[in-house]
Structure 1
Amino acid sequence: MDSIDLEVLKTSAAWIAAGRRCELITVIKTWGSSPRPVGATLAICEDGTVVGSVSGGCIEDDLIARVRDEGISRTIPEIVSYGITADEAHRFGLPCGGTIELSIEPLSAHSRIDELLARLEQHELVQRRLDLRSGEVELSKAAPGAQMQVSEQAMVTLHGPRWRLLIIGAGQLSRFLAQIALAMDYSVTVCDPREEYRAGWHVDGVQLVHEMPDDVVLEMNLDHRSAVVALTHDPKLDDLALMEALKSDAFYVGAIGSRVNNSKRRERLLEFDLTPEQLTRLHGPIGLYIGSKTPSEIAISILAEMTAIKNGVPTNMIVPHAAAPTQPGDAVCVVESGAV
């Protein structure tokens, strides 16, 4: 599965290769409430076909109508605004007072979209600098933690995996988790030293390694854009890796297991050199409470919790699986087989 960013770029590249005129639209600034975040993209072809999104749909409708009526005639980038007045906010489906500013860039072979895609295939985080006066494009490797920047002279956007996810264990749940995480712009590594589990395990775009998980955690030098999820149920594999991950800057560290197993895991980890404060960072049972029972549902639950933590959602607004309600007689179903 491709992320929206990749889908927009790949479609743009295909239009350019076919000799069709097209434009790349990027959200560069918002005021008040807006449907799409800064950095969201949309590509539009000369026939009005679009891919991607920059609003709830009404701005897209206006862009399409303009292209169909006027064609694509821009030769250099242009900055446009929607929703400046209350009437416009209502017209374009923006919340009252919402305003969105867009960069509209005419694309051609000189836009270096093919080169950008080639670098993204190598899982590189790429910085794309667009000169807003001339339309010239420069590509370079982006530094960790880099942010989108816009000035009167240039717009710098980031493309590629901006977050990293280490999954310990190559099982069925790992496959679903890896596939969804890829679509969310994560660079995914799956680690399992057990050959019988690795055999036949494959997801395009995911690195599969066989070293011991704790060694991989140390080699990855986890930062605040990294997450670790342990899915093996095997303390020999999970515990040491979790210990190292909890001492790192990773924004999320979680492990599968029931409440009982999670309690035993915490007792074991305290026997290592972890502090109680470090141990409080461990999420387990893992995931948000959504009544998940199948591997695909559990994967969604895990990524939902990761996303909430990544986005800074207040703790009192998150219902983790550890706080899942249970009823007499169904605790085993909910905790042991139903989730995580």
Structure 2
Amino acid sequence: MNSLDYDVITRALEWLRDGHQVHLFTVVQTWGSSPRLPGALLALRADGHLVGSVSGGCIEDDLADKAINQQLPKTTALMEYGVSQDEAQRFGIPCGGRLQILVEPSIAEATLLPLLNALENKQLVRRSVNLNSGHVSFKEALPGSSAGLEGEYFHNYFGPKARLLIIGANQLGVLLASMAQTLEFEVLICDPRDHVKAEWRVTGTQWIDGMPDDVIVEIKPDANTAIVAVTHDPKLDDMALLEALKCDAFYVGALGSERNQQNRRDRLLSFDLTADEVARLHGPVGLRIGSRTPAEIAIAILAEIIQVRSQQRQSASIPHRLGEDSKASSACKA
């Protein structure tokens, strides 16, 4: 599955190559309750066709009408919606909500192609737009940065925002890998069983050979890495957890029932892990949503990963300064 950004960018490039005029809109800032976060994209043709989203729908309709009636800005500009309560209600923005949108009229292929290359190569890149001149520049970036304004520039980030290492290439692993790519995770797979590797078919993922504990040491998990063990084989899952729980990964989870998890915690404590390290384990893995099927379990796991990442960002556990790439944290602790 492709990320939403990838779908917007590829469609916009198709339109440009077909001779259409295309405008690009990006959410820059939000106040109060807003449907989309800074960085959300919308590509809009001059005839009103669009892909992507900057709100719940009404603002998109208004922008399409403006495009058809040639009422959009002719140069790079900022637009605001939801300034008044009446306008917020008119455009379906939650009470008190307000958002600012960057408009890039009549974009050129050169302002999008580096993004397509970065997304296809699983690289994180920063796209910077000068609000005065409209000039677009690109720079390699590190995970942990957020879209936002810096002086006369707006910076947005494209590519994998975090890594997900999945231990286990079973049916659940397949679903996790597919869904996580839509959420803009770089997906890594480890499963030492040759017959399982031979049947792996999920494109866009990186297979890493080796035993789970060695692989975790090799990839050096940082504060932008999540690790999930789903083989349901204690010999493999526990090996991964012995290293994962000592690292800086923001999330470590393992498949298994309440009883199995308690037994697993007892086993882990018998090794060199501390009680605090074992307490980091999310197990049974995933939010409690009554999931039963592999697809439902995958959704529950990814929902919990997103929840944990959001909570840690809010508490500044993943530090970053606006417009400046954060440095990756240390690797596994000795």
Q: TM-score, normalised by structure 1?
A: 0.88
Q: In the superposition, relative to structure 1, how do residues 270 and 215 fare at CA in structure 2: closer, same or farther (>3 Å)?
A: same
- Give CA-to-partner distance per residue, 1:202-256, whole Å, 9 cap, x none: 2110111221111111122111211100011222221121121111111111111
Match of 2:131 in 1: 132
Does the 8 Å contact 1:46/1:72 carry over to 2? no
The correspondence of residues 6-45 of structure 1 with structure 2, limited to 5 A, is 6-45=6-45
Are 1:27 and 1:100, in contact at CA under 8 Å, matched by a contact in 2? Answer: yes
Q: For structure 1, list consecutive stretches of 5 or more residues without a partner in the other structure.
A: 314-340
Quote the residue 1:175 is aligned against: 174
Letter in structure 1 aligned against 2:291: S
Aligned to 1:116: 115
User: Amino acid of the residue matched to residue 210 of structure 2?
Assistant: E
Report the counterpart of residue 159 of structure 1 in structure 2. Answer: 158
Q: Is residue 13–residue 113 contact of structure 1 (8 Å, CA) maintained in 2? A: yes
Contact 1:193 1:209 in 2 (8 A): no
**Alpha-carbon distance, 1:144 to partner:** 3.0
The equivalent of 2:56 in structure 1 is 56
Preserved CA contact (<8 Å) 1:9 1:117: yes
The residue identity in structure 1 corresponding to 2:59 is: I
Contact 2:81/2:99 (8 A) holds in 1 = yes
Q: State how far apart, in whole Å, the 2-side matches of 1:143 and 1:306 are.
A: 20
Match of 2:210, SS? coil
2:205 aligned residue: 206
Partner of 1:92: 91
User: How far did 1:271 drift?
Assistant: 1.3
Contact map agreement 1:262 1:285 (CA 8 A) in 2: yes
Q: Which residue of 2 aligns with 1:333?
A: none
Identity %: 48
Q: How many Å apart are 1:73 and its aligned residue?
A: 6.5
Q: Secondary structure at the match of 1:157?
A: strand
Asked if the contact 2:24/2:43 (under 8 Å) is kept, the reply is yes
The CA deviation at 1:111 is: 4.0
Change (3 A) 1:204 1:107: farther
Match for residue 216 of structure 2? 217
> In the alignment, does 2:141 pair up with 1:142?
yes
- How far residue 17 of structure 1 moved from its aligned partner, in angstroms, is 1.4
8 Å contact kept, 1:178–1:206? yes
1:288 deviates by 1.6
Match of 2:249 in 1: 250
Give the deviation of 1:20 after TM superposition.
0.9
Structure 1 residue 284, shift from structure 2 partner: 0.9
Q: Which residue identity does 2:87 align to in structure 1?
A: E
Partner of 1:308: 307
Paired residue type of 1:18: D
Cα RMSD (Å)? 1.5
Q: CA deviation at 1:94?
A: 1.2
Counterpart-to-counterpart distance in 2, 1:159 and 1:107: 21
Query: Aligned partner of 1:25: which letter?
Result: F
The Cα offsets for residues 269-299 of structure 1, whole Å up to 9 and x where unpaired, read as 1111111011111011111222222111111
Aligned twin of 1:323: none
Provide the residue aligned with 1:322 in structure 2: none
Residue aligned with 1:70, SS = coil
CA shift at 1:112, angstroms?
A: 2.7
The question of whether the paired residues in 1 share the 8 Å contact of 2:175 and 2:295 is answered with yes
CA contact (8 A) 1:173 1:295 kept: yes
Measured after TM superposition, the shift of residue 72 of structure 1 is 5.9
Structure 2 gaps, min length 5: 313-334
Identify the residue that residue 315 of structure 2 maps to in structure 1. Answer: none
Give per-residue Cα distances to partners, 1:166-220, cap 9 Å, x unaligned: 0001111100111000000000001011101111212110111221111111122
- Distance in 1 (alpha carbons) for counterparts of 2:297 and 2:82: 40
Q: How far, CA to CA, are the matches of 1:166 and 1:53 in structure 2? A: 29
Cα distance in 1 for residues equivalent to 2:69 and 2:25:
18
Q: Which amino acid aligns with 2:294?
A: P
Cα displacement (A) at 1:97: 2.2
Cα distance in 2 between the residues matched to 1:86 and 1:116: 37
User: 2:145 is paired with a residue of what secondary structure?
Assistant: coil
One-letter amino acid matched to 2:293 = T
Q: Which amino acid aligns with 1:22?
A: V
Structure 2 equivalent of residue 327 of structure 1: none
State the distance in 2 between where 1:101 and 1:6 align. Answer: 22
SS of 2:207's partner is strand
Letter in 1 for 2:10: K
Q: For 1:103-137, what per-residue CA distance to the aligned partner results, in whole angstroms no more than 9, with x for missing partners?
A: 01124335431222012211000011112222221
Which amino acid in the other structure matches residue 167 of structure 1?
I
The equivalent of 2:323 in structure 1 is none
Q: Is the 8 A contact 2:42 2:53 kept in 1?
A: yes
What TM-score do you get using the length of structure 2 for normalisation? Answer: 0.90
